[in-house]
Structure formats: structure tokens, C-alpha cells
Amino acid sequence: MRTFRILLSKELRSFFLSPIAYVVLALVMLFNGVAFYASVRILQTAPSEGSLVTWTFNSPWFYLSYFTIFPLITMRLFSEEQKLGTIETLLTAPVRTTEMIFSKYVATVIFYCVLWLPSLLNFYVFQWITRGMADIPTGQLIGSYTIVLTMGLFNIAIGCFASSLTKNQIVAAILSFSMILLHFLLGAFMLYLSGQSNQQYAELTSYFASIQHIKSFASGLIDTRPIIYYLSFTALVLSLTHQVLDFRRWKV
Amino acid sequence: MPELEDPATPAKSIARFSIGVNVIVQVVLGVFLFGVVNYLSWRTYKRWDLTIGQSHTLSERTIGFLESMDKRARMIVLFTKGTQLTSNVHDLVDEYKRYAGKKLKVEIIDPAREPNRLEQIKEEYKMQFADRKDGVLIAVDGADDKPRTKFVDEDAFFTLDPSTGRTTAFTGESALTSALLAVGEGRRRVLKLVTGKGGLNLGGQGGTAMDFLVEFARKENAEVQTIDISDPNADFKDTDVLVFVNIKDDLTDEEVRRVRDYWETKRGSMLVLLNPEFPTPNLHALLKEYGVVVRNDRVLEMISGPRPLTGWEVTSVITLNASVTDQLLWGRNVKFRGKTQSLEIDHLNEEELRGRGIVVEELLQSDDRRFWGETDYLQDPPVYDEKTDSRRGPVTGVYVEKGVMQDAKLRVESSRMVVLGNSTMLDPPWDTASYDLGTSAINWMLDRDELVGIAPKQKQWFRLEISNAQSERIFQIIILALPLSVVCFGLFVWSVRRA
């Protein structure tokens, strides 16, 4: 545990002492800010069944920030170590592969949470400026941030895995972006196809269609099925990352 | 001196094959475990409904009904995909399936994309669906293995505000539960509206409680028929609820006898919406027999100060513990827009009523600080008189049950009645509480206790009315100031590290 803590603080330092982290944070804040402001404008124009929260989390700007974040924050995790040759030092040091993976993973998750905190602040700024004129549905807010966190855990795991496969950060970023996008589009495409197939298939596709999960959680409906799906997938992908890194120990 | 290890000793070879096999086994096991966990999660899951108005949660009544359903049912959802209503219906049906388990088989068909399957369904159930209408087909196994069916069309799933054309509530739950119940019951329930007594323009364009009855019948699998009680051959058979709306002409002795006979001997139910404008002493006398005293007064509001009395509107509160409705409605306000008579429970004859198995309870009571029953309601301005006027906070609605049993299963033999001080509470446009109370009251009289308290899911419409200055400030802070401050902080961190 001590090793884990040391590695975690090292990873966190490398995140927060790098100016790139702040550029990413500013970029995400900008995207989320635009998503939020666009939702305010929509609700100013005409009454809608969707609340400020629903509109914000279903905005194209939200998806833009969502797809950009993961490659940016995970691409350097293992690729950089491999490129600099420090991975050999790490692998031969009295550090378990699991500790190494988890420290990097948890540090990224913490950074990811920090990236999303300002978007929560947007709602409070709005309340403050409008003097609480519009209600922000708490249930929808809880649902939205729950799914953002849960899907984040899964996508960060994919980013870790992609980064462990190559020493080139750009390749790692493209790989993770492609995998995340593929998972998302596959779900959306199958959801579309489910309209032309039987109920069983429709249920199955909605089980892993991320777009459906975001919509449902953003409306305030929290379901254990997507949560279990993302968490178990995260565990599976992290175990694959473990195998990839361990492979260096015994490969020819 | 100890012997040093020979540096030339070759390193122990790595068993790559066995490690490789081990890795493959681990990966396969991981994937298997992932599959098992997700299969179990798919089968057994939990949901927390934090939506506004708990729009994804079934009422306890529906859950109880589904869990106790003893017949196998099939629900074929025929809604064109891509609309909010369809999504709401799919979510709803999902919940029905979750609680009914294997007793309910659900099939979702998009009529636009699956015309062949639609044709098969039509053929299978020998049904003709209304053109271009979405809906849900419900089939329940009948006694002779022939399924009984009912098509609930899309209109039953929502209510619209006619002035804006917007959906005001999602009524899918009550539509589906009542349809399931009705198909199980085997026949449509009949509300018979008393005609020939004036006071109700049947051919009129809306605006009366008649519209409510029609709306109720459409959504709750019932039908509205008329009955002329002056006709000696008037058929009370199959009358589930006898409805008096706003009658002007009083009942004759013979009519009173027929109504009494219907109510007392045939497990009758009556909804009486009084008309304070016209005296109906025989009807009042009949009601008194069952413990309901109709007072010759008007409910008025106490207004202090120079403001003149301008209207007759009465706000009443649904009393706590009223078994006519569910606790969701207890304490909510309903409005009577016209002149309203106050009612009173005949406490003097309480013993005698109890001896006859009659229980009378208050259903609606107006605020005792604001309203009183004025007997001399033509005086200007009206003033509360303790001696002649009815007490402050008059009762505007009561319900009566005869033959009430402690055991709910035996209660099917009881006669039920709801009396309201005027009929305007059910005039359109209905506010939510009035609509829900009317629906609950009729379902209570139909002995459909399962449906009492299935409230429509109110739709909330959001609109922001903020000034341009506020909008600009939001833009400046959220899109400019906050991200820029983070960039500045990042530059500061960078410069510190460089230094």
C-alpha cells in the first residue's frame, strides 16, 4: 500500500505540475461552458420538456469534451515510460505491476474528476446570477454525474490499455480515441438496428449503448445495469493491461 | 572461505509456454467472469428513480396488482420509435415486465418499420387497429383458452393542455393497469348518466363534467351510457355507477324508489354532483337517508377589507385517510368554480346509520379560516351569522359506503356513493388534483381499488426567463473568465517550475 501511495503521489504531481493539465482543464471547461450556455439559450427561446441538466448532458459540446478528454489524459501513462525507458526501471524495481497500473489509473481518475468539477460549478454560478430563479433538478444532476464518472472509469481503463500497447503517445491517443468511439458508435448503431429486430436483441443492445445510458441517467433514472457493465468492463480491460505489461517480463 | 557461485552458471530458463498458457487461461477466465457478472446484473437489477415526479416508478397499486396477477398476459407495444412518448411507454412497459415476471410477455413492435409483424399480430388477434394510431395491445388468457384483448390507443397515454397543445401528464400507467384489469374483468364497466332532469347539455361543446366522464371512460376502459330514470322500464342492470350531474328537476317518489332500490339491493354506486341553483328536495331527502345532509346555503369566502365579493370559487382540501383516494392525494386542494352547497354528515342518526351498515365520511373540506356556509347568500355583503349559517370550513364532498366490511375481500358487496357540493370541480380544464380525485372516486365506486391512487405523471416544462444582462454575465463567467483563470494558473505553475 505504501508503494501504491508513493507511486500515486508521483503520478498526481506529474499531472498537476504540468502546464498541459491546465490547458486540458481549460479546454474541457470551455466545451462544458459552451454546452451549458447553449442549453440556457435553448430554454430561453422556448419551453422544453428537458431541463437545463438534460440539455447540457445531451449537447454536442458535451460529447466533444467527452471524446477528447480520455486520449488526452491517458496517452502518456505507459507510452511515455516506454519511450523514456523508465518502464524497465519500474518493472525491475520492487513494485508490483498491479500497483503500477492502479497508481496510474487512480491518479488519472482523480484528474478526470477535477476536470468535471468546474462543470458542476456552472450550475451554481447560474443559480447565483439568476438568484435561484430556475430549479436545477438534483436527481438529474446526480444521475448525470454518476454516469459521467462511471463511463469515465471505463474509458480511462481503455486509455490505459491503449497506452500500454505502444511507446508512441500519438498512436496511444489515436488508439484509445478509436476504441472509445467504436464502443460508443457500436452501441448507437446496434440501438438503431434494434428497432428492426426482436425485443431480446433490443434489450441486449440497450444494455451497452452508452448514448442510452447518458440519456437515462441524465433524466434522473439510476440503474445498476450500466454501472455493473462499465465497472466489470473496467476490471477486464485493466486485467488486460496487466497482461500486456507483464508480457515484457517473459517475452523472448 | 566460502566457495563463490560460478558466474558462468546459465540463468534459469523461463517457461514461456506454460506462462503463455497461464495468461490465455487468465484472459479466458476474465472474459467468462465478465460475462457471468453481466448476465446476473441483467437479470437482477435495481433502479433509483430520481426523476421529477418519479416518472419511472409504478404506484404501489400497480405493483400489487402485477404481483398478484393470476392470469398470463401479453403486451404488444405498437409505438413508432423515436418520440418521447414512445420512450416513456417503453420504460413503463419495462417496469411492468419487471414486476409481473414470467406472467407478462412483452413484445415491442415499431409499426412503421415492421409492417409484416404488425400484419401477423392483426391476423393472430383478429383485430383492426385504427389507422396511424400507435398503442398497446393487451391480451389476457380467457377461461376457454381464447385470449381476451384490448387495444389501448396512444391518446390514453397522455393528457394535453388544449390551449398550448403541450403534454401535461403521462397517464400510461393508469391506462395500462386499467386495461389489464378490464381485460381480466371481461367486460367494460358502465357509467350511466341520468338524463331527462335538465341541467346538462349533452350535445354541448365541452365545458361540463360530462367531458370528464367521457375522458374517464376512454382511459379507464369504461363506457358512458344514459339512463332515463323516469322510465318505469329503466334498465339498471349492468349499471356500475349511476351519475347525477347538475340536475335541475327533482326526482319523483317513484324515481327515488328506483334509485334506492338500485343502490341498496344491487350493490349500486352513485356519483351525485349537486346543482345548488335548483331545489331538489326529494334527492336531498334520499341522500339524508344515507347520512348526507345537503344544507341550503352557499359556501362563501371571508374577505376582509374594501375588496367586494366577486366570485363563488371555493377551495377545498382532500381529507386525510379518505379511502376514496390514495394518500398521494390527501391534503391536496381542489377548486369548485361555481356556487357550492355545503354538506353535513348526519351525526344525529349516526347510531341508526351504523346499525344499517352505513358509513359516511368527509371527503372535501374548505379552509375553516376562509370559508363558511351562508344561508342568506343574497344579502349584500353577506355576513357570517353563528346562529343560522353553517360552521366555518364547510364540507363540500362526502363519501358513503353501505355494507362495509373490515375484510377487503368481502367489500365487493358494498354500495358506494360520492356526493359533491356542485359539479364544477369536474368541469374542464381540470387541475391535476381534481382530475385525480374524480378518477380515484369513480374507480373506488367501481370497486377497482387497484386503480385508486394511480396518479398521472405530471410533465414539467422548463423555460428560463432571464434578462440579457444575466445571460451575458453567464457567458462571461462560464465561457471566458473561468477557463482563462485556469490557463493563467497553468502558466503560473509552468513559470514557477521553469524558475
The structural domains of chain B, ordered by start, are 48-186 (3.40.30.10), 188-454 (3.40.50.880)
Task: Calculate how close chain B gets to A4, using CA atoms only, in Å.
Answer: 24
Query: Over the Cα atoms of chain B, what is R_g?
Result: 32
SS3 B412: helix
Looking at residues B393-412, what average pLDDT do you find? 72
Most confident of A199-208, B33-42, B316-325: B33-42
**CB atoms A36 and B478 under 8 Å:** yes
**CB atoms A252 and B16 under 8 Å:** yes
Say whether pLDDT at B405 is over 60. Answer: no
Answer whether B223's CB lies under 8 Å from B254's CB: no
Q: For chain A, say whether B22 makes contact (Cβ under 8 Å).
A: no
Task: Quote the percentage of chain A above a pLDDT of 70.
Answer: 94
Q: For chain A, say whether B30 makes contact (Cβ under 8 Å).
A: yes
Most confident of B260-274, B283-297, B447-461: B283-297
**CB atoms B471 and A199 under 8 Å:** no
Q: For chain A, say whether B19 makes contact (Cβ under 8 Å).
A: yes
Q: Indicate the average pLDDT of chain A.
A: 88
Nearest CA in chain B to A241: B27
B10: DSSP letter:
P
For B496, counting Cβ atoms within 10 Å of its Cβ (0-12 exposed, 13-18 middle, 19+ buried), the class is: exposed
**CB atoms B462 and A50 under 8 Å:** yes
Contacting residues of B for A29, CB less than 8 Å apart:
482-483, 486
Q: What is the maximal distance between C-alpha atoms in chain B?
A: 131
Amino acid, single-letter form, for residue B98: R
Kindly report each contact of residues A179-185 with a partner whose C-beta sits within 8 Å and lies 24 or more positions away, as own/partner.
Answer: A180/A67, A180/A70, A180/A71, A180/A155, A181/A67, A183/A158, A183/A208, A183/A210, A184/A67, A184/A210, A184/A211
Answer whether B285's CB lies under 8 Å from B321's CB: no
Q: Indicate the average pLDDT of chain B.
A: 81
Say whether pLDDT at A20 is over 70. Answer: yes
pLDDT at position B1 is 47
Task: Calculate how close chain A gets to B289, using CA atoms only, in Å.
Answer: 50
Percentage helix, strand, coil, to 5, in chain B? 40, 20, 40
Considering only residues A147 and B276, tell me which one the structure prediction assigns the higher pLDDT. Answer: A147
> Confidence band (pLDDT; 50, 70, 90) for B454?
low
Distance of CA A94 to the CA centre of its chain: 31
Contacting residues of B for A44, CB less than 8 Å apart:
463-466, 471
**CB atoms A30 and B483 under 8 Å:** yes
Amino acid, single-letter form, for residue B134: D
User: What are the phi and psi torsion angles at B194 (to 5°)?
Assistant: -75, 120
**Comparing C-alpha atoms, which of A54, A68, A62, A61 is closest to residue A215?**
A54
Say whether pLDDT at A243 is over 80. Answer: yes
Looking at residues B238-264, what average pLDDT do you find? 89
Task: Calculate how close chain B gets to A124, using CA atoms only, in Å.
Answer: 11
Domain definitions of chain A by residue range: 2-250
**CB atoms B464 and A22 under 8 Å:** no
Say whether pLDDT at B486 is over 60. Answer: yes
Is this prediction's pTM over 0.80?
Answer: no
> Confidence band (pLDDT; 50, 70, 90) for B270?
very high
Contacting residues of B for A43, CB less than 8 Å apart:
462-464
SS3 B296: coil
Which residue among B34, B466, B473 sits closest to A232, beta carbon to beta carbon?
B34
Contacting residues of B for A24, CB less than 8 Å apart:
none
Task: Quote the percentage of chain B above a pLDDT of 90.
Answer: 13
Q: For chain A, say whether B17 makes contact (Cβ under 8 Å).
A: no
Looking at residues B35-60, what average pLDDT do you find? 85
**CB atoms B470 and A129 under 8 Å:** yes
pLDDT at position B27 is 92
Looking at residues B326-347, what average pLDDT do you find? 82
The answer to whether the complex's ipTM is over 0.90 is: no
pLDDT at position B277 is 85
Q: For chain A, say whether B265 makes contact (Cβ under 8 Å).
A: no
Answer whether B336's CB lies under 8 Å from B422's CB: yes
Task: Calculate how close chain B gets to A171, using CA atoms only, in Å.
Answer: 24
Looking at residues B470-497, what average pLDDT do you find? 90
Nearest CA in chain A to B88: A216
Contacting residues of B for A133, CB less than 8 Å apart:
464-466
pLDDT at position B223 is 85
Best of A135, A204, A205, A223 to substitute, by most chain B Cβ atoms within 10 angstroms, is: A223
Question: Angle of helix B172-185 relative to helix B209-219, nearest 10 degrees?
Answer: 70
Which residue among B50, B483, B484 sits closest to A222, beta carbon to beta carbon?
B50
**CB atoms B38 and A207 under 8 Å:** yes
Task: Calculate how close chain A gets to B185, using CA atoms only, in Å.
Answer: 28
Looking at residues B123-142, what average pLDDT do you find? 75
Task: Calculate how close chain B gets to A226, using CA atoms only, in Å.
Answer: 9
Which whole-number Å values give the CA distances from A33 to A24, A37, A250, in the listed order? 14, 6, 48
Looking at residues B444-448, what average pLDDT do you find? 81
Taking the C-alpha atoms of residue A101 and residue A252, their distance in angstroms, rounded to an integer, is 23
- Residue B283's contacts (CB-CB under 8 Å, 6 or more residues apart) are B244, B247, B250, B251, B256, B272
Most confident of B1-5, B14-18, B89-93, B286-290: B286-290
**CB atoms A26 and B474 under 8 Å:** no
Contacting residues of B for A15, CB less than 8 Å apart:
none
* Strand spans (E) along B104-262: 104-109, 135-141, 147-153, 158-161, 166-170, 189-194, 222-227, 241-245
Contacting residues of A for B498, CB less than 8 Å apart:
none
Answer whether B329's CB lies under 8 Å from B318's CB: yes
Lowest mean pLDDT among A133-137, B68-72, B177-181, B410-414: B410-414
Contacting residues of A for B484, CB less than 8 Å apart:
26
> Confidence band (pLDDT; 50, 70, 90) for B56?
confident
Lowest mean pLDDT among A201-205, B170-174, B291-295: A201-205
Considering only residues B56 and B4, tell me which one the structure prediction assigns the higher pLDDT. Answer: B56
Report CA dihedral (B465, B468, B471, B472) to the nearest 10 degrees: 180
- Residue B101's contacts (CB-CB under 8 Å, 6 or more residues apart) are none
Q: For chain A, say whether B25 makes contact (Cβ under 8 Å).
A: no
Lowest mean pLDDT among A27-36, B238-247, B270-279, B432-441: B432-441
**CB atoms A22 and B489 under 8 Å:** yes
Looking at residues B394-416, what average pLDDT do you find? 73
> Confidence band (pLDDT; 50, 70, 90) for A152?
very high
CB contacts < 8 Å between A and B, how many? 181
pLDDT at position B438 is 87
pLDDT at position B131 is 57
